[in-house]
Amino acid sequence: MASLWSSLERDVFNPQKKRLLENIRVWKTGKKKKMSILCVVVDAFRPMQPFLVKVKVDRGEQYKIAYKWPLAELKLVDGKTLNQASLDFDLQFDKVYKWTTSSFDEKKTFIRCLWKLNHRFLASSITFVNVPSCAAEGRQRSQEDRKDTAEMESQEELTVYQEMTPKEAADVLKLMEEYEPLVNNSVAFAEQLSNDLQVLDEANLRAIISSEKQVTQLMGSIDEALVEVDRMEETLQIYDELLGSVKQQMDHIHRENSLLHHVISNKTRLMDEILFLTTHLDLGKEHCDALSQADLSSPSRVKACIAAAEALSACMNILIQPGYRKLQAVAEQLIMFETLKQNFENSFIGHITNIFELQGNAQVPALGQPIDKLSAPSHGLHHEELVPYTPLMAWLKSTNPVLFCDLPKIYAQNLSRLYDREIKAFFEHAKTFLLGRRKGSLQESAEKPMGSRQWCRWSLPGSREGLQDTPDKGNVVRMLEQVLRELQPLCTAEQQFIEEFFQLSRDAADLQVLEASASKEAESTASPEDPPCAKPRSQLEEPTTHLLCEIFSCLEPELRGFVDVCNKVHPFGCLQVLVALNDSIFEMWGSSSALPSSFLNTVLGNMLLLAKSSFNKYIGSLCKEIEEAKVPSKMKGGILPAVIHFEEFVNFSEEVFRTARRRGELDKAHLRLASSVFSSINSLSSANLKVNTDMVMMENFYHIHCFLCQKKIHCLEAKKIEAKQRYSEHMEKYVIKYLGQPLEKLNHFFEGVKARVAQGVKEEEVSFQLAYSKQELRKVIEKYPGKEVKRALENLYRKIHKYLSPEENLLPVVWHAMEQEFIRQYQEFEDLIQRCYTGSGIAMEFTMEDLLSYFNSITLSNM
C-alpha cells in the first residue's frame, strides 16, 4: 500500500500540486476484469478544494487519470451496509457509479474520509445512506466539536488583550531606554515607577482643585441662559394669540379661492367638450350634399364623394363618452350620419354593380376575321374604369364589411362570363395557329386518340420528312410557350387588380408566414423534379384564389384541351408539352413581375403534373409495344425495329430538351426505354430465326453501344457499358460456335482428350485409350492438311460476310476475333499433343505461320 501511495503521489498528484488523502482499489460491480483506483485528493494550496479521481493502470504499469469529479458534485454515498458487511458501494454524481472493492476495511476507511471532507469543506451537503458507523461517528464528532468550541471560547475570554498602537510601543521603548540602567535592577526600577505614579496622582488632584472655580462660573452662566429662555417663551405666546384671528381669516380666503378655481376649471372643461363635439361632429354642407346626391357620373364628383365619405367616417369614428350620446343634439347628429351612410352605401353598391354587369356583357371579337398574331385579350380599360372607386371600396369595407363581402362575388359572376368568351376565343385562335386548319379539322384532330399512333420513323424537327403536313407555325413548343406568355400578363394583371381593388392583399408578415409554410409543405410533398411553383391548391385557399378560380373558371379546362391537341399533333407531342410547361413555369417563377402566389402558377403546376402523367403513360405504352413486339421468323438479321425506334426517340428528345432547364423525367424515360429495348433483344434467344441468334443480338447491342457513345448521355452510361458487355459476350459465343466448323473432327477429338484428363486419366496414359490412340490422332490430323484448312476458313468468311449487316461494319471485328480464337485453339492442340503424346513425333500438318498467312490472304482478297 505504501508503494502504491508513494507512486501515486510521485507520478500523478505531485506534478499537479495535489495532496493524496485516501485511495482504494475498485472495479465496476459485476465486471472484475478492469481494475481501477479511486483517490481522494485536495489542492496543496489555499483555497483547498477536494476531488475524487479515477486512476487507471496501463500495460506498462503507468498511472493515468481517467476521470476527475469535484467532490462538491457528489450527491449521495450508499454504503450498502445494513445487516451484513458488503464490499459494494455506490457514488451518485450526475449518474450512479456502482463499485466493488476487495476489502471491507478499505471501504470503511474510504467512506470515512469522504464523510470527514463533507463536514469540513462541503457543509454536510452529501447524503450518506446505509453507513451506520459514519452516523454514530457523526453524532460523537458533533458533541466533541461543541465541547471543543466551548473550551476555545472560554480560553479566548481569558486571553483577551488589546494590541498596542505603534505610538504606545514607541513610548514604552523610549521609557525602557531612559531607565536602562534601572531595568537591570528590577526592584529599583519598580520603586522608581511607584514614586513617579505618586507624583502624577498629586498633580491630578491639584488640577481638579484648581478647576473648581471655573465650574462654578459655568453653572452661573447656565442659570442666566434659562431665565432668558423663559422670557422668550412668554413673548412668543403673546404673539401667537395675536395671530390666531389672522389665521382664521386666511383660511376663509383660501377656501373662497379654491371654490372660485373649481368654477373656472369646470367652465373651461365644459367649453372644451362643447368645442370638441361641435368641431368633430360637424359635417360640412358640401359633404352632406355629395353623400345625399351620390352622383358618381364623373371623376370630379367621384372625388367629391370620396372626400365626403372620408369626412363622414372621421365624424362617425370619433370616440365620445357614452353619456354624450344621451344629449339630444348629439343623438340627432349621429342619426343623421347613419342615414347618410346607409343611403350612400346603397347608391354606391348599385352604381358599382351596374358597372360590373356592363363589363361582363361586353362583346368579344369574332373568330372569322383574319388574324396575323396570337394575342390574349386585355382588360386594362375595364380596370382603369374601376380604379377611381378603390378608395370608396376601402371605405365600404371598413364601414360595412357585410355588404362589402357580396361585391367580389358579384364582380366574379359578371366578369367570369366575359373571360369565358374571351379565353375560349383565344384558344380557338391558338388551335388554328397550331394546326393551320379551320374548326372542322380541329374537331377531327381532337377526336383522334393518342393510342392509335402506329410505329413509324419520325424524323427530327430539322428534317423535312415527317413534317410535310405540319406547317412551320404549328411547332408545339413554340406555340405552347406563346400561349403561356400571353396568359401570364392577363392573369397577373387581374390578380393584382382584384387584390388592390377589393383590399385582398396581405400584410408583409402574413405573406412571409404563408411563403414559409408553403415552401415546407412543398418540400415534403413534391418530388425533387417538381418546380417550386407547383404548389398544391390547398396552400392558396384564400379569398384571392377563390375569386380567381371563379373568374377564370374555364381557363384550366381550355388549357387542358389545348394541351391535349398539342399531344395529338405529333407522335412525341407529350414530350414537347412537358418541355414547354417546365420552361414556362421556371421562367415565370424567376420573373420579377410574377406574384409569389400567382393563380396562373398554380394552374400551370396542375398542367405540369398532368403533362408528366401523360408523358409517363406514353412512355409506358412505348415500352409495352417494344417488349411485346414479335420478330418475324423470316428475319435474316440486321437492326431490330425496337432499336431504331429507340434511336429516333432519343434523337428527337435530345433535340427538344437541348435548352430545357430540367430533364429528370426524360432521363427516367430513357432508362425505361433502354431497359425495354434490352429486354426485346434478349427475347431473341427464344425466337426461331433462320440466322444465328447470337449474331443478331451481337449486331444490335453493338449498334446501341455505338449510338450511346455518339450521344454521350449521362443517365445512359450504365446502359452503354452493359451494351458493350453484352455484344462482347454474344460475339464470343458466335465465334466459338462457328469456329468449330473448319476443324470439326479435330476439335471433337481433343475435347474427348480433355474430358479423359479431367476424369483422372494420366496424360501419358491417354494414348493407350483405344479411341484416342496415336493411330486415331494421325487419322484425324491427315484429314486437315493446310489447303483444306484454308478452304474451310474461306467458306467461313463468306458465310459470315453473307449474314452480317454491312451498315454496322462488324465483319473486321468478328474476323479478327475468330483469328485470335483459332490461334488459341491451335496452341491448345499443340500443347495437348506435347503433353499426352510425348515422343510420338505427331504434329499438325500446318504451322502457326501457315495459319497466319491463311487469315492474311483471306482478309486481303476480300478488301
256, 281, 306 - which closes a domain: 281
Average pLDDT over residues 602-612: 81
Query: Which pLDDT value is given to residue 39?
Result: 94
Alpha-carbon span 476 to 435, nearest angstrom: 10
Give tens-digit pLDDT for 640-686: 777 778 878 878 777 777 666 677 777 787 788 877 877 777 776 65
Q: What is the pLDDT of residue 853?
A: 75
Give the mean pLDDT of 525-534: 44
Q: Does 633 fall in a domain?
A: no
Poorest-pLDDT segment among 89-103, 762-776, 802-816:
802-816
Determine the distance from the C-alpha atom of residue 683 to the mean position of all C-alpha atoms in its chain, rounded to a whole number.
46
- Structural domain contains residue 230: yes
Tell which wins on pLDDT, 176 or 554: 554
Same domain, 855 and 767: yes
CA R_g for the chain? 58
pLDDT tens, position by position, 213-247: 777 777 888 888 888 888 888 888 888 777 777 77
* Other C-beta atoms lying within 10 Å of the C-beta of residue 33: 6
- Per-residue pLDDT at 264: 92
pLDDT bucket at 52, cuts 50 / 70 / 90: very high
pLDDT > 70? residue 109: yes
Distance of alpha carbon 513 from alpha carbon 518, whole angstroms: 8
592 and 658 housed in the same domain:
no
Task: Look at the pTM and tell me if it is higher than 0.85.
Answer: no
Does residue 388 fall inside a structural domain? yes
User: Given a cut of 80, is residue 120 above it in pLDDT?
Assistant: yes
Q: Is the model more confident about 591 or about 600?
A: 600
- Weakest-pLDDT range from 206-210, 423-427, 561-565: 206-210
Contacts with 560 (C-beta within 8 Å, 6 or more apart), sequence order:
607, 610
Q: Quick check: 534 pLDDT over 50? A: no
| One domain for residues 67 and 91 | yes
Whether 14 shows a pLDDT value over 60: the answer reads yes
Phi-psi region of 809 (alpha: psi -120 to 50; beta: other; left: phi over 0): left
Give the pLDDT confidence of 268-288 residue by residue, as tens digits.
888 988 888 888 788 888 888
Which has more confidence, 532 or 362? Answer: 362
Q: Is residue 821 part of a domain?
A: yes
Q: DSSP secondary structure string, 120-159?
A: HHSTT-SEEES-HHHHHHHHHHHHHHHHHHHHHHHHHHHT
pLDDT surpassing 80 at residue 538: no
Answer yes or no: is 233 within a domain. yes
Q: Taking the mean position of all CA atoms in its chain, how far away is CA 761? A: 71
C-alpha–C-alpha distance, residues 272 and 352, integer Å:
42
Contacts of 529 (CB under 8 A, 6+ apart): 662, 664, 665
pLDDT of residue 835: 82
What strands lie across the sheet with 35-43, from one edge to the other? 63-70, 50-57, 35-43, 18-28, 96-101, 88-92, 76-78, 127-129
* DSSP 8-state secondary structure symbol assigned to residue 453: P
Residues 609 and 751 in one domain: no
Do 708 and 828 fall within a single domain? no
The residues pairing with 37 across neighbouring beta strands, listed in sequence order, are: 25, 55
CATH number of the CATH domain containing 42? 2.30.29.90
Model pLDDT, residue 440: 43
Amino acid at site 622: L
Out of 534-538, 686-690, 717-721, least confident range: 534-538
Mean pLDDT for 811-836 is 76
Residues 429 and 554 in one domain: yes
Do 839 and 766 fall within a single domain? yes
Same domain, 45 and 98: yes
- Choosing from 281, 308, 326, the residue where a domain stops is 281
More confident residue, 4 or 208: 4
Residue 40 has a pLDDT of: 93
Average pLDDT of span 518-547: 51
Ramachandran bin of 826, using left for φ above 0, alpha for ψ from -120 to 50, beta for the remaining angles: alpha
- Comparing 103 with 692, the larger pLDDT belongs to 103
Count of CB atoms situated within 10 Å of the CB of 148? 10
- Within a domain: 852: yes
**Cα gap 301→626, rounded to integer Å:** 74
Residue 631 confidence class, pLDDT cut points 50, 70, 90: low
Q: Are residues 602 and 692 in the same domain?
A: no
Residues 612 and 713 in one domain: no
**Using one digit for the tens of pLDDT, what is the confidence trace for 315-329?**
888 888 888 888 888
Range with the lowest mean pLDDT among 113-122, 141-150, 624-633?
141-150
Domain residue limits at 88:
4-129
State the average pLDDT over residues 120-127.
86
Indicate the SS3 state at residue 321: coil
- Domain end, chosen from 706, 740, 774, is at 740
Dist CA 182 CA 179 (whole Å): 5
How confident is the model at residue 509, as a pLDDT?
Answer: 39
Residues 699, 702: Cα–Cα separation, whole Å: 5
Q: Band the pLDDT of 598: cuts 50, 70, 90.
A: low
Does residue 513 belong to any structural domain of this protein?
A: no
Residue 588 lies in a domain: yes
Between 436 and 3, the more confident residue is 3
At residue 522, does pLDDT exceed 60? no
Are residues 812 and 715 located together in one domain of the fold? no
What's the chain's average pLDDT? 75
pLDDT band at 514 (very low <50, low <70, confident <90, very high): very low
How would DSSP label each residue in 629-684? PPPPTT--SS--HHHHHHHHHHHHHHHHGGG-S--HHHHHHHHHHHHHHHHHHHGG
How many domains does one find in the chain? 5
Burial of 110 (0-12, 13-18, 19+ CB in 10 A): buried
Q: Is 348 helix (H, G, I), strand (E, B) or coil?
A: helix
Cα 86 to its chain centre, rounded Å, is: 56
Residues 217 and 75 in one domain: no
Is the pLDDT at 160 greater than 60, yes or no? no
pLDDT score of 112: 92
In this structure, how many other beta carbons lie within 10 angstroms of the beta carbon of residue 480?
A: 27
Angstrom distance (rounded) from CA 569 to CA 146: 108
